[in-house]
Structure 1
Amino acid sequence: MDTKYMGIDVHSSTCSFCVLDSQGIELDHRTIVTNGRLMIQYLQSFGENVMVAFEECDLSSWLFDILRNHVRSLIVCNPVANAQYKRAKTDKLDARNLAHLLRGNFLHPVFHDGSGREKLRMLVSGYDDTVQESTRLQNRIEAIRRRSRSPEVTTHAAFVLKQFTERLRQLERMKDEYQRELETQVKRFKETKYLISLPGIAYIQAARIIAHVIDPNRFKNKYKFFAYCGLVRHRRQSGGRDYGTTRIFGNRSLKCVFKMAAHSALRGSGSMRQYYDALRQKGLNDNAARNAVARKLAAVALSLWRKKQLFNEHMILNGLPVKG
């Protein structure tokens, strides 16, 4: 049976579909209201041998859940990786471009499995947005207080400062509610007890790890996980010349989790501090040693989750050189 390749440009109100056959000939193009029942009916009109692709967006988890049982394969792809193929920008062209990339096997998939861990991501995202807005508002309040020292802006600044202060109190209450809900929800997952046994990892950090990783076995090795977390730098070379290093696209939330966990773990005198001291003795500067500690925490977190083990200080100490 001839395989059909379908690209979908997803929006909150409508979705644009483009369908190609195995020869790359366009069979149909249509715009449909973003309604699960109507979209499934359209998919089923092309039979069972249909491959579908759409880009990661706010609706991707919902769309993945309703479509995955009605197609041969479903790819949620990374829009950043697709940017190099885009020229003109319309919904029809975007859908057609996705269909051609799917047919040529050029798409970079984003992991989805529809599990409860993936649904936890929405709660984590809401908490992170609240924290960011609270931080931004605190910075604006501080800036207004500095400006209000000038007599000509004092009256207006007092009014704005009052509004911002009330909003900040609301955000702080929201943040507390998010934290309580996150702690309640994350305790339902068995891997939480393994993750919180790590130095610098509490319930909120464990929730972030679970929500973004979802399945630890999807990473071939720890180095793939480092890249996903944005904890590595890649060397840039061309024509035999070295142009330094650069960081590739990574998960900022996980990068923040392991960086802050490393910062917290180094305050004590445990195994992570000893690991840091050993790196410094080898000649690494402070920044490089802290980055190495963050990567070590990420590697151990992945290992604990896979093996269902609690953290033990000897996991780190056994790899350190013995002092004579």
Structure 2
Amino acid sequence: MEYFAGLDVSMEATHICVVDRDGAIVHEAKATSAPDAIEAELARAPACRRVVFETGRMAPMLYHGLVAFGLPVVCIESRQAYQALKSLATHKTDRNDARGLAHLARTGFFKPTHVKSLPAHAIRSLIIARKKLVGQRVMMENQIRGLAVVFGVRLPRALNPAFIEQALRASEGIDGLSAAMRGLIAARGAVLSAITAIDADMKKLARSSEACRQLMTIPGVGHITALAFTAAVDDPERFRRSRDIGAYLGLVPRRYQSGEVDYTGSISKCGDRRVRTLLYEAANVMLTRYRGSLKLKEWALGIAKRSSMRKARVALARRLAIIMHAMLRHGTEFKPA
């Protein structure tokens, strides 16, 4: 007899349900959301052919931890599981969700999703932290400008010492404004120091990675874009064709077809938004700043003449993603010809 398990994971506890081939429940339990606790609870039930749970914040840690114990773990997309679980149970509870996931494991009515490695998640965390700090820096600088303009002082937008000097000069002699300016400037300095430290770590990671060094041979692709792309792809072999990476990153047109209705819209914008943004910026750099002769650039400029520069950047970003994936798969450098 074959057995299948479903795990409904939360931050504190995980509900476990094991069913047989006919759908009869043979074991139900609740364990701490830790790989060793879940493995110990599953050991009390019959050996399972498949263990299914949804994507979420705990998914990477649990997946790799349970795989290390030798369990046949499968992670599925939460949006797909939501539609299936909604039709299986009237009341949404953790126990019912675990039962529904066990039935999905039994029927095979799901699409497995790739769980990235922990080093890839670590790089992604570094990129997210940098983006958040840059946003905080911009917010504080705008706040400083907004406080100064009330008193008729327009501060420069460039990041230079004149910005701080003029901000302090504008607040001299005004008690409340002076304290506010000094506090914001001190916070801005701390954020800038943190950004500088993260940039140094990211450059060090990019230099130590052979894959990143290969990707950085493409004009317009820097260390941040290379790190973000390698972390998003993780395993190049999981894509059967390089052109599939465009749909994975949301850089292909969205299509809707139903009966007589059939239209193609803008790009789907699925997948990792940060990687998509970085590829768009790399395409913009290639089109506007790179002065060398490049057939890829000429191809995108041809699209710009027929349509618009924005669509040319999106098309070039998708083409860059395809080329970068092929480079990762074959371990080659960019060839301008």
Please give the TM-score of this superposition, normalised by the length of structure 2: 0.80
Q: CA deviation at 1:130?
A: 3.4
Q: Secondary structure at the match of 1:191?
A: helix
The structure-2 alpha-carbon separation of the partners of 1:274 and 1:32, relative to structure 1 and needing over 3 Å to count, comes to: same
Counterpart-to-counterpart distance in 2, 1:29 and 1:48: 14
Deviates more, 1:65-74 or 1:252-261: 65-74
Counterpart-to-counterpart distance in 1, 2:98 and 2:119: 26
Superposed CA RMSD in Å reads: 2.7
The structure-2 alpha-carbon separation of the partners of 1:155 and 1:249, relative to structure 1 and needing over 3 Å to count, comes to: farther
Is the CA contact 1:7–1:99 (under 8 Å) kept in the aligned structure 2? yes
Is the CA contact 2:6–2:99 (under 8 Å) kept in the aligned structure 1? yes
Give 2:290's aligned residue. 268
Does residue 111 of structure 1 match 2:114?
A: yes
Give 1:278's aligned residue. 302
**Structure 2 counterpart of 1:124, which letter?**
R
* Equivalent residue runs for 1:153-232 within 5 Å: 162-232=182-252
**Structure 2 counterpart of 1:258, which letter?**
L
Is the CA contact 1:186–1:203 (under 8 Å) kept in the aligned structure 2? yes
Q: Secondary structure at the match of 1:28?
A: strand
Counterpart-to-counterpart distance in 1, 2:33 and 2:184: 37
Is the CA contact 1:130–1:171 (under 8 Å) kept in the aligned structure 2? no
Give 1:255's aligned residue. 276
Does residue 78 of structure 1 match 2:77?
A: yes
Q: CA deviation at 1:37?
A: 2.4
Structure of greater Rg: 2
Does residue 299 of structure 1 match 2:322?
A: yes
Give 1:321's aligned residue. none
- List runs of 5+ in structure 2 lacking aligned partners: 152-173
Give 1:67's aligned residue. 66
Q: CA deviation at 1:218?
A: 0.9
Q: Secondary structure at the match of 1:29?
A: strand
Give 1:131's aligned residue. 131
Counterpart-to-counterpart distance in 2, 1:95 and 1:156: 57
Give 1:49's aligned residue. 48
**Structure 1 counterpart of 2:35, which letter?**
G
Q: CA deviation at 1:195?
A: 0.8
**Structure 1 counterpart of 2:311, which letter?**
A
Counterpart-to-counterpart distance in 2, 1:155 and 1:162: 11
**Structure 2 counterpart of 1:311, which letter?**
F
Deviates more, 1:129-138 or 1:141-150: 141-150
Does residue 289 of structure 1 match 2:312?
A: yes
Deviation per CA, 1:272-318, whole angstroms, max 9, x where unpaired?
Answer: 4322223335x23222221111111111111111121111111xxxx
Does residue 8 of structure 1 match 2:7?
A: yes
Counterpart-to-counterpart distance in 2, 1:96 and 1:133: 42
- List runs of 5+ in structure 1 lacking aligned partners: 315-324
Count of aligned pairs between the two proteins: 307
Q: CA deviation at 1:212?
A: 1.3
**Structure 1 counterpart of 2:206, which letter?**
V
Does residue 311 of structure 1 match 2:334?
A: yes
Counterpart-to-counterpart distance in 2, 1:90 and 1:158: 55
Is the CA contact 1:121–1:208 (under 8 Å) kept in the aligned structure 2? no
Q: Secondary structure at the match of 1:235?
A: strand
Counterpart-to-counterpart distance in 1, 2:257 and 2:249: 23
* Equivalent residue runs for 1:87-106 within 5 Å: 87=86, 88-106=91-109
**Structure 2 counterpart of 1:119, which letter?**
P
Deviation per CA, 1:228-276, whole angstroms, max 9, x where unpaired?
Answer: 1111112112121135425152221221221111011112233143222
The structure-2 alpha-carbon separation of the partners of 1:293 and 1:35, relative to structure 1 and needing over 3 Å to count, comes to: closer
Is the CA contact 2:127–2:228 (under 8 Å) kept in the aligned structure 1? no
Q: Secondary structure at the match of 1:54?
A: strand
Counterpart-to-counterpart distance in 2, 1:165 and 1:77: 46
Deviates more, 1:29-38 or 1:81-90: 81-90
**Structure 2 counterpart of 1:128, which letter?**
I
Counterpart-to-counterpart distance in 1, 2:32 and 2:183: 40
Counterpart-to-counterpart distance in 1, 2:14 and 2:183: 40
Please give the TM-score of this superposition, normalised by the length of structure 1: 0.83
* Equivalent residue runs for 1:18-57 within 5 Å: 18-57=17-56
